[in-house]
Amino acid sequence: MSVLVRLARQPFALAGLALVAVFAALALAAPLLPLPDPDATEPANRLAALGAAGHLLGTDQLGRDVLARLIFGLRVSLAVGVAATLAAALVGGTVGLVAAFYGRWVDGLLMRLVDVLMAFPYLLLALAVVAALGPGLTNAALAIAIVNVPFFARAVRGQALGIVRQDYVAAARLAGFSDLRILLSEVLPNVAPLLIVTAATTIGWMILETAGLSFLGLGAQPPQADLGSMLGDGHKVVVAAPHVAAAPGVVVFVLVVGLNLLGDGLRDALDPRMKGVESGAPQPATRVERGMTGAGSGPNDSAAVLDVRALTTAFATPRGSFPAIRDVSFTLQAGEALGIVGESGSGKSVTALSLARLAPTPPGTIVSGEVRIGGADVLGLGLDRLRRLRGDRIAYVFQDPLTTLNPLMRIEAQIVEAIRPAPGEGAKAVRTRASALMADVGLPDPERIARAYPHELSGGQRQRVGVAMALANAPDVLVADEPTTALDATTQGRILELFARIRRERGAALIFVSHDVGVVACLCDRIVVMYAGEIVEEGPARVVAARPLHPYAARLIACAPRLGQPDKSLAPIPGAPPAIDARPDGCAFAPRCDHAVAACRAGPIGLEEAMEGRRVRCIRWRELSGEAA
Amino acid sequence: MTAYALRRLALAVPVLFGVTVVVFLVIALVPGDPALAILGSYATPESVARLNAELGLDRSLPARYLAWVGAALTGDLGRSYALDRPVLDEVLERLGPTLILAAAALTLSVLFGLAAGVASAVRQNGWVDRTIGLALLLGVSTPSFFLGLLLILWLAVGLGWFPTGGMSALFGGGGVVDLLRHLVLPAVTLAVVATAILGRLTRAAMLEVLRQDFVRTARAKGVEEDRVISVHALKSALVAVVPVIGLQAGYVLGGAVYVETVFQWPGVGRMLVEAIGRRDILLVQGGVLALATLYVAINVVADLAQAALDPRLEA
């Protein structure tokens, strides 16, 4: 049922369905309609114009009624198109199923045959078949069906390959069912939607091409007529009486438009995965709609290189818009390193990306807050000023360097692209700078690496390239979003050393996002712990790591592995963080917290100044830290 | 790259073999007696038998295939009995106009298809995207034989901007300008469907690429958005689109049959339709073989272009 519902939600598909329904009804009802005999000639009344008495659409060169011929021609064209589609689906589907099911040489042979059929320009093979069989509507439809068999065979084989490897197919084999029975009862039902989609998206083509062959005089032969042959007849008198050709031409066009609208709609309805690919390529910058709430409150810390106030980024979901991070505030002083930690889904990456408006829109929108970098409010900048800020004042290192580097560009070009040339600085000087950057981040043999593509480097080398690009313009703020997560343990250590060295030597302020509290405690001065989109604790890194105040922070630290303590028992936190559209009213961690009481669930809990430089979002932190002590 | 090119060329050999087999079989399995078809129904049994022997039709299928392919390799595709000249000469003479038409149409469809797809993807779900999407759907559904008629009626007969059909010789005729005047309408007609298909595919490929992490990296580096789209995203999207451009060459070469008929363009397509009408089987065979071979070659080139774009494919 849900397929029909999804189909009904698409206005274009419904329009297509309506068109197709009207045409199908006309075609089916043709013999019942009060129409003149479509083959009755009336030489005295040749090429009558539109609206002539008794001939609404006029007559053709033999004086036959165009409207009657049109509706009967439509009947023929539709019937032939449906027949050709069914034939192609049956043969192509069988070939695809058999190839996937038997594999090995059967698959090889059938697919080579399909390849050969596809090696012909579409239609040309159809022409050859018609040439061999002789002109005629059946032969033309047969030819069109043959050239469409490969599309069905390939599509069905592709999907069936996955199905024949499933356990239930193996089970059916073991149970001794015949191959035919397995194919029909286990495999066919699973490829049926694909078969329907392929048929629905190709039937328009097949009607078009069959009409084309008739137009060329290779399809329907007189007295039989389809829309194509009517168009071919009209072609001969097109200047004197354009309506004779226009009527069937318009009908073919509108019919095929209707079929294609319906076919596309069916494809989207039956294959939501394809719709998923469709939904939303990110815009150049996160949308900002701060509305009435406006900028964050409180005095700005003018000394800070980065000042984030009440930042809230909402994500659109099918059930409405929900904040992925809410009311996030922190500052970063020059040369300071701030770690943001939390489980996946805690909002730490969304926070990091929102700073330079890199959180994806759709689905993200920044709905409130302020981000000041060097005094300017990033969220209020125009696209061009934002672009100039990115990579210059604030630069990023991302998680997986294999996907974050452009696979088609040489390393040098990607680093050069990151460098803002000084006025008058030539291409050669920029390349020298790129080379120096590579040496700086410890890339061996910069000359070779400059010419390499990302896939030719190791993971660690790729991440060093990522760091080199981020350092290109000596940014005020360097944001590293899980920069070591995708790397193996040894490489992780080396990249962390690199970050520590950059901090020592360059004094850039660093935001280091990680799920690993241990790493952050070593590298950073301060730490922010996030849960369900909110900061739950903030303070000096070593102090928080040693004596966390928030129960969630405590659990997170308890489950972090410690180097040199392999026997320490890791206590994973039971349960999962709430989905963004299912956040509880009070403390978001309460459902997983051992210390939760009724008051925790009563209402929103503020971020409280616990002591000098420490903030915590827990109403019980005092008693709990007393317990822990 | 050289190794990849050689491997790709080697892959084309079995495909070409298959193509020749299919072309041969389609014609060899023609129902009825070809000699009888050529000589007419009043021929004596003796003359039919003699012609069958002459044509080699009394031998086994594999023997006939080998003879046919061997001759084809030396450029002998037989004689067109209706035109009374070698098939090869006729095909080569007709190939030039078809190549001009197909190249013009393919160029138009690549330019407009890529532009439409990129513009659509960049403004995804906005009114530009919806308008282009609808236009592309209409394009995919267009019967080119009907569109050609409309263009003739409107721009050639009505406004007189272009000739209604025909083609003047490139050399000795009206020169390049006159050739272009004759080329515009057929090329546009032929380009519409391929443009629409390429536009839809480019949009999908661009959307796929724009979601990738490296696009975010480029934006984080402060690369101009135009450059993000044209250098980072489009180049990656082309890796997926280029092979389809090769496939579109097939639609264009096939669709040329309609367009050449409507515009009386003296190409292989119209030759084929006329030859089928006259049951000039050897001419059909030669024409189909020539276009299919050309198509296989175009797809090899498209695959090589794809490998040139994507260094990962060379490995």
Which pLDDT value is given to residue A256?
Answer: 93
Q: Does A455 touch chain B (CB under 8 A)?
A: yes
Amino acid present at A340: I
In the structure encoding, which two tokens stand for residue B137, read together?
A: 């759907």
In the structure encoding, which two tokens stand for residue B65, read together?
A: 């295939």
Contacts of B254 (CB under 8 A, 6+ apart): A121, A122, A123, A124, A126, A127
Neighbours of A47 (CB within 10 A): 17
Q: Which residues of B touch A406 (CB under 8 A)?
A: 214, 217-218, 232, 236
pLDDT range class, residue A629, cuts 50, 70, 90: very low
DSSP string computed for A536-563: EEEEEHHHHHHS--SHHHHHHHHTS--T
Q: Which residues of A touch B252 (CB under 8 A)?
A: 121
Residue B102 pLDDT > 90: yes
Residue B139 pLDDT > 50: yes
Residues in chain A: 629
Mutate to test the interface with A, among B23, B185, B219 (most CBs of A within 10 A): B219
CB neighbour burial string for A172-206, b if at least 16 within 10 angstroms, e if fewer:
beeeebeeeebbeebbbebbebbbbbbbbbbbbbb
Residue A295 pLDDT > 60: no
pLDDT range class, residue A21, cuts 50, 70, 90: very high
Facing residue for A131 by CB, picked from B21, B262, B276: B276
Q: Report the phi/psi class of residue A43: left, alpha or beta, with left for phi > 0 and alpha for psi in -120 to 50.
A: alpha
Region B15-35: mean pLDDT is 79
Taking the CA of residue A282 and the nearest CA in chain B, the distance in Å comes to: 6
pLDDT range class, residue A302, cuts 50, 70, 90: low
Mutate to test the interface with A, among B138, B146, B207 (most CBs of A within 10 A): B146
Residue B167 pLDDT > 80: no
Which pLDDT value is given to residue B268?
Answer: 92
Task: Give per-residue pLDDT as tens, A464-477.
Answer: 898 889 888 888 88
Cis ω before A223 (30° cut-off from 0): yes
* Cβ proximity of A145 and A236 under 8 Å: no
Taking the CA of residue A546 and the nearest CA in chain B, the distance in Å comes to: 35
In the structure encoding, which two tokens stand for residue A254, read together?
A: 């509108």
Q: Which residues of A touch B299 (CB under 8 A)?
A: 119
Please report, for residues B15, B24, B59, the alpha-carbon distance to residue B67 in angstroms, rounded to integers and kept in the order given.
Answer: 19, 11, 10
In chain B, the residue whose alpha carbon lies closest to the alpha carbon of A143 is: B26
Task: Give per-residue pLDDT as tens, B36-63.
Answer: 666 776 777 787 777 777 767 777 888 8
Region A286-298: mean pLDDT is 65
CB distance A260–B140 less than 8 Å?
A: yes
Give CA angle at A53 (A50, A54), nearest 5°: 95
CB distance B22–A125 less than 8 Å?
A: yes
Interface of B with A in 258-297 (CB under 8 A): 258, 261-262, 272-273, 275-277, 281, 284-285, 288, 291-292, 295-296
Mutate to test the interface with A, among B137, B276, B282, B288 (most CBs of A within 10 A): B276
pLDDT range class, residue B33, cuts 50, 70, 90: low
Residue B75 pLDDT > 80: yes
Q: Report the phi/psi class of residue B59: left, alpha or beta, with left for phi > 0 and alpha for psi in -120 to 50.
A: beta
Q: Which residues of B touch A215 (CB under 8 A)?
A: 143, 145, 258, 261
CB distance B222–A128 less than 8 Å?
A: no
Residue A594 pLDDT > 70: yes
Beta bridge partners of A320: A317
Q: Is residue A98 helix, strand or coil?
A: helix
Facing residue for B143 by CB, picked from A115, A212, A387: A212
Rounded to two decimals, the ipTM of the complex is 0.86
Of the two residues A134 and B298, the one the predictor is more confident about is B298
CB distance A128–B26 less than 8 Å?
A: yes
Please report, for residues A3, A279, B201, B218, the alpha-carbon distance to residue A272 in angstroms, rounded to integers and kept in the order given.
Answer: 9, 10, 18, 30
Q: What distance in Å separates the CA atoms of residue A426 and residue A337, rounded to the nearest whole number? A: 34
Kindly report which listed range (A36-40, A458-462, B83-87) carries the lowest average pLDDT score: A36-40
Residue A197 pLDDT > 90: no
Beta bridge partners of A478: A395, A510
Of the two residues A375 and B149, the one the predictor is more confident about is B149
For chain B, what is the radius of gyration of the CA atoms? 24
Burial of A88 (0-12, 13-18, 19+ CB in 10 A): buried
Which pLDDT value is given to residue B108?
Answer: 95
Q: Report the predicted TM-score, pTM, of the whole model to 2 decimal places.
A: 0.86
Size of interface A-B (CB pairs under 8 A): 247
Kindly report which listed range (A206-210, A485-489, B147-151, B253-257) carries the lowest average pLDDT score: A485-489
CB distance B222–A391 less than 8 Å?
A: yes
Taking the CA of residue B221 and the nearest CA in chain A, the distance in Å comes to: 4
Q: Is residue B264 helix, strand or coil?
A: coil
CB distance A249–B150 less than 8 Å?
A: yes
Residue B314 pLDDT > 80: no
Residue A277 pLDDT > 50: no
Q: Does A252 touch chain B (CB under 8 A)?
A: yes
CB distance B225–A218 less than 8 Å?
A: no
Region A37-51: mean pLDDT is 76
Which pLDDT value is given to residue A585?
Answer: 83
Q: Which residues of B touch A235 (CB under 8 A)?
A: 145, 149, 262
Q: Which residues of A touch B157 (CB under 8 A)?
A: 239
Residue A273 pLDDT > 60: no
Q: Does A358 touch chain B (CB under 8 A)?
A: yes
Q: What distance in Å separates the CA atoms of residue A432 and residue A440, rounded to the nearest whole number? A: 12
B144-151 helix and A242-270 helix, angle to the nearest 10 degrees: 140
Backbone angles phi, psi at A225, to 5 degrees: -145, 135
* Torsion angle in degrees (nearest 10) through CA of A344, A348, A349, A353: 160
Task: Give per-residue pLDDT as tens, A199-257.
Answer: 988 999 999 999 999 998 888 888 888 888 888 888 888 778 888 888 888 999 999 99
The DSSP output letter for B59 is S
Taking the CA of residue A265 and the nearest CA in chain B, the distance in Å comes to: 12
pLDDT range class, residue A596, cuts 50, 70, 90: confident
Which pLDDT value is given to residue A278?
Answer: 45
CB distance A396–B215 less than 8 Å?
A: no
Beta bridge partners of A611: A614
Facing residue for A123 by CB, picked from B14, B15, B255: B255
Q: Which residues of B touch A117 (CB under 8 A)?
A: 22
Summary mean pLDDT of chain A: 84
Taking the CA of residue B94 and the nearest CA in chain A, the distance in Å comes to: 15
Residue B189 pLDDT > 90: yes
Please report, for residues A51, A510, A549, B94, the alpha-carbon distance to residue A546 in angstroms, rounded to integers and kept in the order given.
Answer: 92, 22, 10, 85
* Cβ proximity of B226 and B169 under 8 Å: no
DSSP string computed for A365-434: EEEEEEEEETTEEGGG--HHHHHHHBTTTEEEE-S-HHHHS-TTS-HHHHHHHH--PPTT--HHHHHHHH
Q: Which residues of A touch B223 (CB under 8 A)?
A: 387, 391, 417
Taking the CA of residue B146 and the nearest CA in chain A, the distance in Å comes to: 6
Region B165-175: mean pLDDT is 65
pLDDT range class, residue B315, cuts 50, 70, 90: low
Beta bridge partners of A537: A529, A616
Helix (H) or strand (E) holding A530: strand A526-531
| Listed residue (A601, A587, A588) closest to A345, CA to CA | A588
Region B252-259: mean pLDDT is 90
In chain A, the residue whose alpha carbon lies closest to the alpha carbon of B214 is: A404
Which pLDDT value is given to residue A440?
Answer: 83
pLDDT range class, residue A417, cuts 50, 70, 90: very high
- First-to-last alpha carbon distance for chain B, in angstroms, is 9
Greatest Cα pair distance, chain B, in angstroms, is 84
DSSP string computed for A33-71: S----TT---GGGTTPPTTBTTBTT-B-TT--BHHHHHH
- Report which listed range, A42-46, A380-384, A540-544, B87-91, is most confident: B87-91
pLDDT range class, residue B214, cuts 50, 70, 90: very high
Q: What distance in Å separates the CA atoms of residue B61 and residue B99, rounded to the nearest whole number? A: 33
pLDDT range class, residue B8, cuts 50, 70, 90: confident
Kindly report which listed range (A5-14, A276-285, A395-404, A428-437) carries the lowest average pLDDT score: A276-285
Interface of B with A in 52-111 (CB under 8 A): none
Q: Which residues of A touch B309 (CB under 8 A)?
A: 408
* Cβ proximity of A83 and A141 under 8 Å: yes
Residues in chain B: 315
Task: Give per-residue pLDDT as tens, A62-114.
Answer: 778 888 888 888 999 999 999 999 999 999 999 998 998 888 888 888 888 88
Backbone angles phi, psi at A324, to 5 degrees: -85, -35
Q: What distance in Å separates the CA atoms of residue A39 and residue A416, rounded to the nearest whole number? A: 74
Mutate to test the interface with B, among A201, A206, A216 (most CBs of B within 10 A): A216
* Cβ proximity of A403 and B213 under 8 Å: yes
Amino acid present at B250: G
* Cβ proximity of A311 and A369 under 8 Å: yes
Report percent pLDDT > 70 for chain A: 94
